[in-house]
Amino acid sequence: MTKKLVVKPLRKDTYLTVIQNACGSKMWANNYALVNGKKEDILQNGSTSCAFFVSSILKMFDLIKDLHVTVNGTEKDLKQSGWRRIAVTSKMPPGSILIWEKKKALEAKNKNTATHAHIGFYIGKEQAVSIWIFHNFPIIHHWTYSGKRKVLRAYWNPKI
């Protein structure tokens, strides 16, 4: 008699592992579009790719409807896809989405300063994963950038 194999996917464990394993990958650094008829990397080789990174992982787990290249677009989709706003504390559940305050940042392409919102994942123990402007790939860092950037909003989805 053959014993039936019972497999139950562990969505949360896989989701959190994918976020952490993304660190160091440059796969979210580029996204091309025609801008006024000219091909451009609208993510500027990763300097503005935080929303593309976050929305890609969320889309992979069917936690949002679409891919996005802006924080505003990603946040709007979060709200429409059942994500709930939660209190911003170091006790947030791992896998929560964080949205940081806008900060001035040096844009790689045109060397002008502009303000940028920022989005990433909270992974617990006061750590987050996001693409920082000085890296064109995801990194693990302190969830408040060691007190240098305020988290404005956090979201959680009960499907995780």
Taking the domains of the chain in order of start, what are their residue ranges? 50-156
Q: Name the pLDDT band for 107 (thresholds 50, 70, 90).
A: very low
pLDDT exceeding 70 applies to what percent of the chain? 94
65 contacts 113 by C-beta, under 8 angstroms: no
Tokens 């936690």 correspond to what residue? 63
* Token output for 62: 């069917």
Q: What is the pLDDT of residue 136?
A: 87
102 contacts 117 by C-beta, under 8 angstroms: yes
Q: Return the amino acid letter for 70.
A: T
109 pLDDT above the threshold of 50: no
CATH of domain 50-156: 3.90.1720.10
**What are the DSSP calls for the chain, one per residue?**
-PPPP-----HHHHHHHHHHHTTT--TTS--EEEETTEEEETTGGGTT-HHHHHHHHHHHTTSSSS--SSHHHHHHHHHHTT-EEE--STTSPTT-EEEEEEEEEE-TTT--EEEEEEEEEEEETTEEEEE-TT-SSEEEEETTTTTTS-EEEEEE-TT-
Q: What is the pLDDT of residue 108?
A: 47
> What is this structure's pTM?
0.90
pLDDT tens, residue by residue, 52-101 = 999 999 999 999 999 999 999 999 999 999 999 999 999 999 999 999 99
Mean pLDDT of 15-29: 96
